[in-house]
Amino acid sequence: MSIELANESGVEAPAELIIGAARFAVGAMDVNPAAELSLLLVDEDTMADMHVQWMDLPGPTDVMSFPMDELVPGGRPDAAEPGPAILGDIVICPAFAKRQAKEARRSFDHELAMLTIHGVLHLLGYDHAEPEEEKEMFGLQNSILEEFYAERHRIAQVQRQSDRDTKLLTNIGFSDIASVDAAPDASDPGHTPPKDT
């Protein structure tokens, strides 16, 4: 999966988290791993211009998605394997997201991960114009977000354990381990001291 992120917003944002959320959402939706996705972070003026131009709505918004290739599931078994699809572009406004997160009492990072997943679902054809669509899309979004956090937590636990193991082995030192293994324990009841001859 090729994901590019450009931050033109003037706001510092966690690129690794945003790319990770996008990659996880695309994987969770079983999109071809050769697909391409572009993420763009913009300021509020740019987002407001795009919002008017593409949605005919005033003011900035949090996220907009611009699908590129139409993804068609399935197909004939004898059809040629499709090439990599360009999913499209997701545009996020971090300044708007930061304000929105504060109002909703969520962290900025959480807001960005949620908006990224929301954007991916829009690229894949999900919408929330109607109540049933909204229920389906937000249910799926929340499920993917929860799984994303669970996976990040699992990876962090594995990394912490690996760091502890490395620190322990470094503190003990491999030469110390070898000498402990080689030296007999005099307090061991099965230990027989050497005899003078």
pLDDT digits (tens, 9 = 90+) for 80-136: 555 557 899 999 999 999 999 999 999 999 999 999 999 999 999 999 999 999 999
**Does residue 113 contact residue 59 with C-beta atoms inside 8 Å?**
no
Distance between CA atoms of residues 66 and 39, nearest Å: 10
Q: What are phi and psi of 178, to 5 degrees?
A: -65, -40
* Per-chain mean pLDDT for the chain: 85
Distance between CA atoms of residues 98 and 83, nearest Å: 37
Q: How many Cβ atoms are within 10 Å of 108's Cβ, its own excluded?
A: 19
pLDDT at residue 180 greater than cutoff 70: no
**Does residue 122 contact residue 65 with C-beta atoms inside 8 Å?**
yes
Residue 122 annotated as part of some ligand binding site: yes
Pull the structure tokens for residue 53: 């131009």
- Closest by CA position to 85, among listed 93, 75, 95: 75
CATH numeric code, 2-70+83-159: 3.40.390.30
Torsion from C-alpha of 132, 138, 140, 145, nearest 10 degrees = 180
pLDDT of residue 102: 97
**Does residue 89 contact residue 103 with C-beta atoms inside 8 Å?**
no
Distance between CA atoms of residues 30 and 129, nearest Å: 24
pLDDT at residue 68 greater than cutoff 80: yes
Strands 2-7 and 63-67: unpaired
Q: Looking at residue 190, what DSSP letter applies? A: T
Residue 128 annotated as part of some ligand binding site: yes
Long-range contacts of 155-160 (CB under 8 A, 24+ apart): none
**Does residue 64 contact residue 55 with C-beta atoms inside 8 Å?**
yes
Grouping H, G, I as helix, E, B as strand and the rest as coil, residue 36 is strand
- Please tell me which residue, 197 or 141, carries the higher pLDDT value: 141
- pLDDT, one tens digit per residue, over 28-63 is 999 988 889 999 999 999 999 999 999 999 999 999
Q: How many Cβ atoms are within 10 Å of 128's Cβ, its own excluded?
A: 16
- CA angle 41/22/143 to nearest 5° reads 125
**Does residue 106 contact residue 53 with C-beta atoms inside 8 Å?**
no
What are the residue ranges spanned by the domains of the chain?
2-70+83-159
